[in-house]
Amino acid sequence: MPGIGFGTSPLVGREAATAVRTALDAGYRLIDTAENYRNEDAVGQAIRDSGIDRGEIFVTTKFNRRWHSVDGVRQACEASLDRLGMDYLDLLLVHWPNPDQDRYVDALRGLDELLQAGTVRAVGTSNFKPAHLRRVQDETGIVPDVNQIQLSPYTTRSASRAHDAEHGIVTESWSPLGAGSGELRRDPVIAEIASRHGKSPAQTILRWHTQLGLVPIPRSGNAERIAENLAIFDFTLNDADMAAISALDKGEDAATDSDVFGH
């Protein structure tokens, strides 16, 4: 799994295809989509048009709550593969736990069957809290390969990161640059560190993610920003930089509550 990926929400249609093609041309090899983004067809087309061998690209997608059953996950996977125009997925995720309907454990059972069949190369969860993951493991013994969660210097999710690390789960960061308002990128702490390293605020934030061992998936429709977000491996934040950035955390309440929200 590449150390940084390209997120595709909320891009759709031609805009999504163009952005994915731009990202691939820039060097991204992890592309993240979902049933709910309604752009799997555009993502698949962009990958085919790129001329890059399918085996070189790590494709992730996710399914919604209606498919939370063993057979439902199979149906969701088949539908995503059809929209993408592919015959396997590198990673398939449960998009939200939706504990109100109480079927996410069965969703993981369905994922495990696809993994054993070879239809997917890895399985995971999105927006699962440690309590959700512990229940899955207690009832099935299944430990996902990846847990994709909202994570940025304003929402550092220390409990989730600790749980994932303890169980060998890769933590992937969605909205790694913070909310769409750009508040995090304008933060004076980020600005000072970025200036000192001769990097942009976005590059500085993404480097913080990778040095923590996280896999960020920034999203952009702008070609310059797409390339900029990938150029983060030629500098290193020192311990004081890392601590200062982590100290910006606003707590768990700043993240979307997956016990309440989901689709």
Annotated active-site positions, please?
37
Cite the DSSP H helix spans in the chain. Answer: 13-26, 40-50, 70-84, 104-117, 130-140, 158-166, 188-197, 201-211, 223-230, 239-246
Cβ contact 5:58 at 8 Å: yes
> Which residue has tokens 């303890």?
166
CA distance 164 to 143: 10
Element (H, E) at 111: helix 104-117
CA distance 109 to 115: 10
Amino acid at 18: T
CA distance 18 to 36: 19
Contacts of residue 162, defined as CB under 8 A and 6 or more positions apart, other chains included, come to: none
Chain CA centroid to CA 11, Å = 15
How distant, in Å, are the alpha carbons of 13, 17, 23, 60, 153 from that of 221?
A: 12, 10, 9, 19, 22
